[in-house]
Chain A
Amino acid sequence: MSDTPPSVVIEGLSKRFDGPDGKPFEAIGGISLSIRPGTLTAFVGPDGAGKTTLMRMMAGLLRPDGGRLQVLGIDLSVDPQEVQNRISYMPQRFGLYEDLSVQENLDLYADLHGVAADVRKERFARLLAMTDLARFTGRPAGKLSGGMKQKLGLACTLVRVPDLLLLDEPSVGVDPLSRRDLWEIIDQIIAAEGLSVIVSTAYMDEAEHCGHVFVLNQGKLLAEGSPAELRDRAKGLTHVVTPEPGVPARDLQARMIDAPDLVADAVPSGGQVRFICQPGCDTAALKSLLHGCDCQPRKEELEDAFMLLLHQNKGSEEGGAASPPPLASEAPVTEINGNGDGPVIAVRDLVRRFGDFTAVANTSFEVKRGEIFGLLGPNGAGKTTTFRMLCGLLPATSGELQVAGVNLRKARAAARARIGYVAQKFSLYSNLSVYENLDFFGGAYGLRGKARQDRVNEIIRQFDLDPDAQSGNLPLGYKQRLAMAAGLLHEPEILFLDEPTSGIDPLARRAFWRTITALSQAGVTVVVTTHFMEEAEYCDRIAIQDAGRLLALGTPREVRERSGITEGNMNEAFIAIVEQARAAGTNGREAA
């Protein structure tokens, strides 16, 4: 095997783009690497690392500004079409034709790749079985859920056996179940066909799964090696600490994140906090930071190595993309004088139907003031519908819905003044500046004159934003901050966040959750939906929904215990609960 030529050879590759300020910046700055055939190779890195640019260059879609790029032994500057004939590429936003059916999309790509009719029949059957789309072949692609769309995209790239498969962040915005399915398909294909696969990802558990990993940051290659080799960099630095009784894990975690000299990274997990010490940190100072809590070493993971690498790189490069979390020390919202300790959100027997289809069935729960409440579920589980009803964007079919003490069925406008909303997709006006956006939302929420000006300036300072920057050109992390700032402008009692961290790298996610923790400490109630199950660990309580029904409700620990999986992580607990419920549902239907 050692004499087979590498599938990709990159030498001194660089690519420049014009930045939003008109100045060119290097998206890829002189990378050299080579990729062995027959392996599963991962590119990992934060936003702006250059993963997508690199993928597009390998697919022949972008012309390099310098260096050499050879794919499957072909120089891309000479014959990009030949490369495109032999590889398959799944872009981040796979361009399914939403008005064509599942079958028609598959047929199109099979025809384009010249798949013979006899091969095609067997291949389609297999792909449809693997993706579980066989039931939906006639459905327009636009009517599929996010997870199913992604699976169909993958199936379209796999209509024939390519010599090299490129997957650009295939699992962004996909729920854990679909994510697992997706990887099962990839694994099966690799096992059956010995494919060479290159995948870019923000999920470290996915990278761990790969044979070889390249860590990119700001267009540079930081490290490469097998996951085991990379893990070794964090050896001896990883620990887990149990907080004092009565203290939420996330408060301890927040304290630790705020001490970057000692702690490279910390995340809450199952009531404890997992963290990485800075190499050669002051053990005495660390001990005092932990208030003498019980601290145990734990096995290092790829994510630990990744976080460590990024922190080291950030240290060497002043003012990198990953900037310190805002609001680290100050609460963004003035303390809210809660009226009593009653629930801020009360939902009873909530039902929403669309025609014959019941999107949300008999759902009841309460959210207490100052709580962080997580709404979890696979794509299409009804959590977005529930969420939209809570925000007053969608009327309920039946049931009671009280938000901030106001009955939403009666006085939606009154409730809206007291909630803040951050949509899943960046949904502020991209061609307006940061200041103009905030100024508008201030006005829409009824702030006037000097009060509005002061409030906008204050929030710009708190979130460390550049008031003159054009919103659409901000990096993803900053867009997220701006969206948060807009949602918090009118000092709402409740903040609704719809998949706020989707597509955001681990560093920005830490910063984001640090802000949420601070908000919660200031008494703001936070309702959040997410696909990152580890983020459920930040929540006081979570609810898991599937097929419109509420499957589990309680603290992350309670939910985990219910699932019967006490050892594994939240991801596995989630999958277990949903699958148990689905199995019971099928049995119940069969019994009836």
Chain B
Amino acid sequence: MDHLISTLAQILALCRKEILAIVKDPANRVILIGPALIQTMLFGYAATFDLKHVPYAVFDQSHSAASTELLARLDGTGIFEREATLTSTAQIAGVIEGGSALMAVTIPADFATRLADGRQAPVQVIFDGRNSTTAGAAAGYVNSVVTGYNRAREGLPPITVVRRAWFNPNLDSRWQILPAMIATLSMLQTMLLAALSVAREREQGTFDQLLVTPLTPLQILIGKAVPSVLVGIMQSTIVLLITLFWFQIPMTGSPWLLYLGLAGFTGASVGIGMSISALALNMQQAMLYTFLLIMPLTLLSGLVTPIRNMPEVLQILTHANPLRFGVDLVRRVYLEGAGLSDIAFDFLPLFVVASITMPLSAWLFRNRLA
């Protein structure tokens, strides 16, 4: 018992020192709060797929009541903003290529007559496909406007699609991205802190001093991992608070479960960081290797693009990516209000990653430095 207490006291001393070192190092202090704050704001405001303004140009050759009504319906959505009224087809290239309009609507001269004759009246819409996601969304809106127009003209009973979106009633992409940031943003910093923790001591020569103390590699590992996990959770908390109170995205799940998930996720990230740390020869390498790893981990996490859209092979690979499960966990708890049983599966890969990387780095401390 006494042995256990003294073991814990030794770890505690190391944890305290690590936290002091993190807080007192001006270079470290810079990354603690600043990046999390800036990036959360950036993601909150800039990372949006929601199409709110579609500037468009019109070339109306028909000048009829029918064409005017169609255009009025477009304008009435509040999304389409008429940017230019054209007088020739040649002008279309200019407004699209120059980027002043996202789409150009051409209504042919025989539009009204064809409609009156009960024939199809084609309306040409040209989209700027340089961002095909935006173009696709705009095309969707145009189609629904036209569908509504047709049904009204025919006097057909309209089929209303009553939409309900679970967990994100307005389908606001900020709701999709910000909760995921609670996991993502802290990962870069915690992995980096963990990766630098041993590399820095090695570069500054303090690691030998640490190794001649009676601390065992396991104690060193825990003593260094715990502060990184704490910093990670602190950063997650910053993002969480901004998401909750600045962007006012309501949280439906239990905060306890959220933090339990974050602890598991941060533990796995720190494990990876510690392995990098044990492998890297100096701080520069630790930094570059971390960055090398972070990029694919972020891209393959389902943060911006759905995992299901990826090729099969990559989908399998993502099972080794803690961020995939971190993002899933946080989103589901935050937006869906998922319970422990719903997300239990997410913990398993995190646990596996942590239980491989942590012992690996402890082993590397001893055997690589020897």
Asked if A392 contacts B370 (CB within 8 A), the reply is: no
Residues of A within 8 A of B10 (CB): 443-444, 446
Q: How far is the CB of A406 from chain B (nearest CB, A)?
A: 12
Q: Is the interface of A mostly helix, strand, loop or mixed?
A: loop
Chain B residue with the shortest CB-CB distance to A448: B9
Asked if A421 is at the interface of the complex by the 8 Å CB criterion, the answer is: yes
Asked if A393 contacts B21 (CB within 8 A), the reply is: no
Asked if A442 contacts B13 (CB within 8 A), the reply is: yes
Asked if B9 contacts A436 (CB within 8 A), the reply is: no
Asked if A416 contacts B208 (CB within 8 A), the reply is: no
Give the contacts of A41-94 with B (CB-CB under 8 A).
Answer: none
Asked if B368 is at the interface of the complex by the 8 Å CB criterion, the answer is: no
**Distance, CA A76 to CA B213, complexed state (A):** 51
Asked if B212 contacts A431 (CB within 8 A), the reply is: no
Residues of A within 8 A of B213 (CB): 416, 441, 444-445
Which of B24, B214, B216, B370 has the most chain A CB within a 10 Å cutoff? B214
Chain B interface residue count, Cβ-Cβ cutoff 8 angstroms: 26
Residues of B within 8 A of A428 (CB): 206, 209
Residues of B within 8 A of A361 (CB): none
Chain B residue with the shortest CB-CB distance to A415: B214
**Distance, CA A423 to CA B14, complexed state (A):** 19
Chain A residue with the shortest CB-CB distance to B209: A427
Asked if A443 contacts B214 (CB within 8 A), the reply is: no
**Distance, CA A443 to CA B208, complexed state (A):** 17
Bits for A427-465, please: 1 = Cβ < 8 Å to B, else 0.
Answer: 111111000100111111110100000000000000000
Asked if B6 contacts A446 (CB within 8 A), the reply is: yes
Asked if A240 is at the interface of the complex by the 8 Å CB criterion, the answer is: no
**Distance, CA A441 to CA B212, complexed state (A):** 11
Give the contacts of A300-329 with B (CB-CB under 8 A).
Answer: none
Asked if B214 contacts A427 (CB within 8 A), the reply is: no
Partner of B14, one of A392, A421, A440: A440
Bits for A389-432, please: 1 = Cβ < 8 Å to B, else 0.
Answer: 00111110000000000000000011011010101011111111
Chain A residue with the shortest CB-CB distance to B200: A429
- Known A432-B21, A443-B10, A448-B6; contact A392-B16, beta-carbon cutoff 8 A: no
Asked if A421 contacts B209 (CB within 8 A), the reply is: yes
Bits for A555-574, please: 1 = Cβ < 8 Å to B, else 0.
Answer: 00000000000000000000
Asked if B205 contacts A427 (CB within 8 A), the reply is: yes
**Distance, CA A391 to CA B370, complexed state (A):** 12
- Known A440-B13, A443-B9; contact A427-B21, beta-carbon cutoff 8 A: no
Asked if B9 contacts A430 (CB within 8 A), the reply is: no
Asked if B251 is at the interface of the complex by the 8 Å CB criterion, the answer is: no
**Distance, CA A428 to CA B24, complexed state (A):** 14
Asked if B204 contacts A427 (CB within 8 A), the reply is: yes
**Distance, CA A462 to CA B253, complexed state (A):** 57
**Distance, CA A391 to CA B209, complexed state (A):** 10
Asked if A439 contacts B205 (CB within 8 A), the reply is: no
Asked if A445 contacts B208 (CB within 8 A), the reply is: no
Chain A residue with the shortest CB-CB distance to B206: A427
Asked if B320 is at the interface of the complex by the 8 Å CB criterion, the answer is: no
Asked if B208 contacts A440 (CB within 8 A), the reply is: no
Bits for A232-274, please: 1 = Cβ < 8 Å to B, else 0.
Answer: 0000000000000000000000000000000000000000000
Residues of A within 8 A of B (CB): 388, 391-395, 413-414, 416-417, 419, 421, 423, 425-432, 436, 439-446, 448, 486
Given A416-B214, A423-B208, A444-B214, 7 new contacts (CB under 8 A): A417-B214, A419-B212, A428-B209, A443-B12, A444-B10, A444-B213, A448-B6
15 sampled A-B residue pairs with Cβ under 8 A: A388-B208, A393-B208, A416-B213, A419-B212, A421-B208, A421-B212, A423-B209, A426-B205, A439-B13, A439-B16, A440-B16, A443-B9, A443-B10, A444-B14, A446-B9
Residues of B within 8 A of A (CB): 6, 9-10, 12-14, 16-17, 20-21, 24-25, 204-206, 208-216, 369-370
